[in-house]
Amino acid sequence: MSGGVQMQKLIEGHKRFLAEVFPAKKSHFHLLAESQAPAWLFITCADSRVVPDLILGTEPGDLFIARSIGNVVPVTNLDVDGVTATIEYSVEALKVQHAIVCGHSDCGAMKAALDRKSLANLPQARRWLDHVEAAFAHRQPLNPADGESAELASLIRGNVVAQLKNLHAQPPVARAVTEGRLTVHGWYYDILTGRIEEYDEELKKFVALVE
């Protein structure tokens, strides 16, 4: 697909939005035009196959989304980064009630964590993925249902646990959780089945979000 054809696809999509979607939701967009009050902060991977509103049936204004390769929540003494700034803003300014870290199957970031040589020409990505090293310490039990991808899926779930701990360590999050105004969740989304698992912090394992 040439560059012009690729862009035309987006333009045609926007035309359909203006003709079909926007008119049906005009009153909703009118309410959102000057303010937002999302209930959920959704921290997920930049992977194009993860489409939160499609997966969860949410509408514009529902989710405040932070995306990065590997659904990372950095904990560092270095300068500010976009993810932690987004977390701070959502918790302190927007007062979200829930924060969700969502990893997904077949995650390229975690594949790269297993094979750092693949990042030889991607120095910024390589540095960013230093934040997922803790995933190795939180690998989850192999799940036969994951087939040949069981080892990778184990590490991806481990990364959700690691980033969940990092999220709890963010000062605004820790404060809001202590005050009882924020609940934190860790999810694993399986692209093949469309199903989500949630990490149960008491049981220390992932369980189906929907039975």
Q: Which of 101, 191, 115, 99 has its CA nearest to residue 153?
A: 191
Q: Are residues 10 and 105 in the same domain?
A: no
Weakest mean pLDDT among 15-19, 85-89, 115-119, 200-204 = 115-119
Number of separate domains in the chain: 2
What are the tens digits of pLDDT across the range 22-64? Answer: 999 999 999 999 999 999 999 999 999 999 999 999 999 999 9
The 3-class SS string of 24-76 reads HCHHHHHHHCCCCCCCEEEEEECCCCCCHHHHHCCCCCCEEEEEECCCCCCCC
Write the single-letter amino acid at 1.
M
CATH code, domain with 125: 3.40.1050.10
Token readout for 17 is: 């939005």
Structure confidence at residue 77 (pLDDT): 63
One domain for residues 30 and 91: no
Kindly state whether residues 114 and 164 are assigned to the same domain: yes
Q: What order of strands is seen across the sheet that includes strand 196-200?
A: 63-68, 40-45, 98-104, 183-189, 196-200, 205-208
Distance of alpha carbon 115 from its chain centroid, rounded? 22
Regarding whether 170 and 115 lie in a shared domain, the answer is yes
Taking Cα atoms as reference points, which of 129, 131, 137, 130 lies closest to residue 154? 137
Cβ neighbours for 163, distance < 8 A, ≥ 6 positions apart: 43, 71, 72, 73, 101, 103, 132, 186
pLDDT digits (tens, 9 = 90+) for 152-171: 999 999 999 999 999 999 99
User: Do residue 12 and residue 58 come from a single domain?
Assistant: no
pTM for this entry:
0.94
The residue segments making up the domain with residue 16 are 1-35
Q: Both 29 and 42 in a single domain?
A: no
> Within this chain, do residues 92 and 142 fall inside the same structural domain, yes or no?
yes
Residue 114 CA: distances (Å) to CA of 110, 126, 151, 155, 156? 6, 12, 10, 9, 11
pLDDT band at 92 (very low <50, low <70, confident <90, very high): very high
If asked whether residues 18 and 116 sit together in one domain, one would say no
30 shares its domain with 49:
no
Q: Do 22 and 57 have their domain in common?
A: no
User: What do you get for the CA distance between the two ends of the chain, in Å?
Assistant: 41
Please give the single-letter amino acid code of residue 178: T
Q: Tell whether 71 and 159 lie within a shared domain.
A: yes
7 and 98 inside one domain: no
What is the residue type of 87? I
